[in-house]
Amino acid sequence: MGRGLVLAAGLLALLGLASGCAKRQAISHRLVSDNLRVRRMAFGELGSLDAAARQQAIPDLVHLLKSNNPSISDMAVDALAGFGNAALPALVAGLKHRDERVRAGAAEALGAMGPAAALATGALLESLADRNSFVRLRSAAALGMIGPGAEDAVADLLARLRDDDAYVRLESARALFRIDPLQPDWLDILLYGIIDPEMDVRYQSAEMLGEVGSATPSVIPALALALDDGNFFVALTAAEALKSIGSEEALRVLRGHRARR
């Protein structure tokens, strides 16, 4: 009788496992549907999987990081980040994937995990030297989102302030601010970025200066200069940055600019 109960319990467990596997496979199939609504529903259903089925879904999600459809790859990033520690080994391995889209997506997912991804700091340091600039950018951003727990990355991020790619330099500067704002040189990268010939560099610099401005009031003159930028979006971002800083000096600059127009 006891043996029969054990066999029955084992059979039920196997049936449950099979059911979970079938559900995961059905969801995985819908993750790449041409219908955006179906894809969103499928990603939403990932949370209903049991722990074993979620673990089995992780390779499928890592594979989706190289999708050429940003909607799919972005949702895969969010899902992997939501799996937390369960996805950590796969994401660290993904940083060494032969496809740069997977490497970049893995770094982005680790960043979205925030401080919980601190154990991946060493792997992200290696990715910070990736041959692909977008992977380096995502790795720098991820280290910044981990925050002070990524203090071992400071020396490498300081080196990336001299990266050939302007966007990598900007993200490295922001990461240094988030990890250890007392480090030198990172602010100069953002201040020089506000006068860069490339519009998107100026735009991102203005946005980042807004983030650091409440702790670093010396950015206000640079943002005041950006209010007269020839590009509407750069000027608008500079105005929003000054509003977010919110100090009397920042608001006075903003009022003075509006009065002159």
Spell out the domains of the chain, with CATH numbers in brackets: 187-261 (1.25.10.10)
Q: Which H or E element spans position 179?
A: helix 166-179
Residue whose pair of structure tokens reads 């992997």 in the numeric block = 80
Measured CA angle at 98 (ends 93, 101), to 5 deg: 85
**The two structure tokens encoding residue 201:** 């560099």
Residue whose pair of structure tokens reads 């259903």 in the numeric block = 45
List the pLDDT tens digit at each of the 261 positions of the chain: 455 444 433 333 333 434 456 666 777 667 766 677 777 777 777 777 778 877 888 888 899 899 888 888 998 999 999 999 999 999 999 999 999 999 999 999 999 999 999 999 999 999 999 999 999 999 999 999 999 999 999 999 999 999 999 999 999 999 999 999 998 899 999 999 999 999 999 999 999 999 999 888 899 999 999 999 999 999 999 999 999 999 999 999 999 998 887
**The two structure tokens encoding residue 110:** 């680790």
CA distance 259 to 261: 6
Exposure string over 37-58, b if 16+ CB within 10 A, otherwise e: eebeebbeebeebeeebbebbb
pTM (2 d.p.): 0.84
pLDDT at 14: 34
DSSP code string of 88-134: HHHHHHHTT-SSHHHHHHHHHHHHHHGGGGGGGHHHHHHHTT-SSHH
The amino acid present at 91, given as its one-letter code, is L
Q: How far apart are the first and last CA of the chain?
A: 89
pLDDT at 87: 94
pLDDT at 152: 96
